[in-house]
Amino acid sequence: MNGGAPYILTGHIDAGLPIVEPPSFSRTIGNQTESFIDITKNLKFGILIVPLISIIGNVAIAKAFSQGKSLDATQEMLTLGLCNVVGSFFQSMPVTGSFSRSAVNNASGVKTPLGGFYTGLLVILALSFLIPYFYYIPRATLSAVIISAVIFMVEIDIILPIWKCNKRDLIPAFITFLACLFVGIEMGILIGTIFDLAILIYLNARPTINIEHRNISTTDYLLVRPTTGILFPAVDHLRMYLTKNSGMNVVLDCEHIDKIDFTAAQSINMTINDFRKNNCQLIILRPNPGILMRIQSLSDKQILTARNEIDLIAILGKPKGVTLNDMVISETDERASTWL
């Protein structure tokens, strides 16, 4: 090979321990010096993507080796940030969870964080005495060690259980995999995260709403029963169901509505006003005090409400526009002022 190695070696590495000094906020490339602002501009989206990947990766590694135990993601994030801040005074590489190192620790039977002490001690000894010999280690060998350590973490067998449980969960998984494969890990994880968030927003915007046609005292009405809280993404979806049958009284069953925001409360009030203009009634059935207070606070008129089926029968049996005298907003207790 003309005196050269048939494979790429690790090459020269500076021996010894790093000097403790404040981190540099500039760098020199060739004859040019880049300031902190220039470095930030060159990073572009990386300034957001890299910390995001670091946090997600760290939490993912912790979950992978937690063996079902509880995990505090906030603690993981604070620890990661603290390690990077302290490490910057020692010219360290950016600190991450490291899949490969965690896999080696797991395979070695490490059970407590004390294992990190022995790992650090070995690294210090290697930096002090073995650096000259690292020159001759082929990079392919280092790659093989990493691959051998993490290969068991590729959980191909989990695809079938996900397919049986919820096929929709496979969509962000495959999109993330393909994006990482063709675009890069940083953008791939970001794309997968955004796509998963989009699915969550869509599910919140399209909650399950059950509809029943009922009759009380020869009065037909439409019972609309959401199965979860109503927030602003679901406002138009709920309004569509409430106004689906014009000219008919509608009862909004709030038994399962545990949270509501300003936009949703405003939309319900607008719908109530539309019903009044059409000489129809929109009755709020079984609202908890907090939900009722939020809706009533945006209306200058008393909202037609029923605490139970008996109240509902009484309301629908009365002339339109007449409310029950015993159902007033003052009945809301202290829970009405709590944040939902």
Complete edge-to-edge strand list for the sheet that includes strand 282-285: 209-216, 219-226, 249-253, 282-285, 305-306
Arithmetic mean of pLDDT, 47-68: 75
Question: Where does residue 31 rank: exposed (0-12), middle (13-18), buried (19+ CB within 10 A)?
Answer: exposed
- DSSP label at residue 230: B
Flag whether pLDDT at 113 surpasses 80. Answer: no
Distinct helix (H) and strand (E) counts, the chain: 14, 7
Instruction: Kindly report, residue by residue over 203-254, the tens digit of the pLDDT.
Output: 888 999 999 988 877 788 899 999 988 988 899 999 998 888 777 889 999 9
Contact criterion met (CB below 8 Å) for 237 and 209: yes
> CATH classification of 209-319, choosing from 3.30.430.20, 3.40.50.80, 2.70.70.10, 3.30.750.24?
3.30.750.24
Alpha carbon distance 290, 246 (integer Å): 29
Flag whether pLDDT at 337 surpasses 60. Answer: no
**What are the distances in angstroms from CA 50 to CA 40, 125, 173, 186, 331?**
12, 30, 20, 7, 52
pLDDT of residue 331: 34
Arithmetic mean of pLDDT, 308-331: 58
pLDDT of residue 5: 62
pLDDT of residue 84: 87
Instruction: Kindly report, residue by residue over 185-199, the tens digit of the pLDDT.
Output: 777 877 888 899 999
- Model confidence, pTM: 0.60
Domain spans in the chain, listed from the N-terminal domain onward: 27-136, 158-205, 209-319
Alpha carbon distance 13, 137 (integer Å): 12
Alpha carbon distance 209, 251 (integer Å): 13
